[in-house]
Amino acid sequence: MTVRLAGGLVSLEGLAGVVTAIVLIVRVLTGHDQSEASGVGTAIWFGVLFGGVLAAGIGLLRGKRWGRAIAVIANVLLLPVAWSLLTDSHQPLWGSLLGLVAVGGLALLFAPATSRFMAQDYADMPDDQTRY
């Protein structure tokens, strides 16, 4: 259950980033951006990174283990962004919301049920195969 909840939350994070990339491209194409290269570059960066986060979320929703690592890294990297919004950017509402989402995602990703799910294939391995 916690894996699917984490997958849903991470999918929403990834979707928000991909939508941001689309909005940036639309702004460039309609002439609202100051620098075409900056808008396109930022859009590509958001599309690639958050496309991966979206894929990880969908993977978790489908019960795939590989999505957890990407999701953990994404949520850890969102914590300083939330802090920046709370302090330097003076955006307490957005910083609080982002912080809650990131901490909530990490809590779901490290919940005991999620950890058991991630480790279940390793429980059946002989001891000599679990050591590296």
The pTM of the full predicted model, rounded to 2 decimals, is 0.84
pLDDT-derived band of residue 37, with 50, 70 and 90 as boundaries? low
pLDDT of residue 33: 60
Which tokens is 39 given? 């808008």
Q: In this model, does residue 130 exceed pLDDT 70?
A: no
The predicted model gives 2-15 an average pLDDT of 96
Task: Identify which of 74, 63, 96 has the alpha carbon closest to the alpha carbon of residue 12.
Answer: 74
Which tokens is 126 given? 């002989």
Which tokens is 60 given? 């978790």
Task: Identify which of 122, 121, 105, 123 has the alpha carbon closest to the alpha carbon of residue 3.
Answer: 105
pLDDT digits (tens, 9 = 90+) for 42-78: 899 999 999 999 999 999 999 999 999 999 999 999 9
pLDDT of residue 132: 47
The predicted model gives 14-30 an average pLDDT of 92
Residue whose pair of structure tokens reads 């990490």 in the numeric block: 106
Q: Give the DSSP per-residue string, 88-102.
A: TT--HHHHHHHHHHH
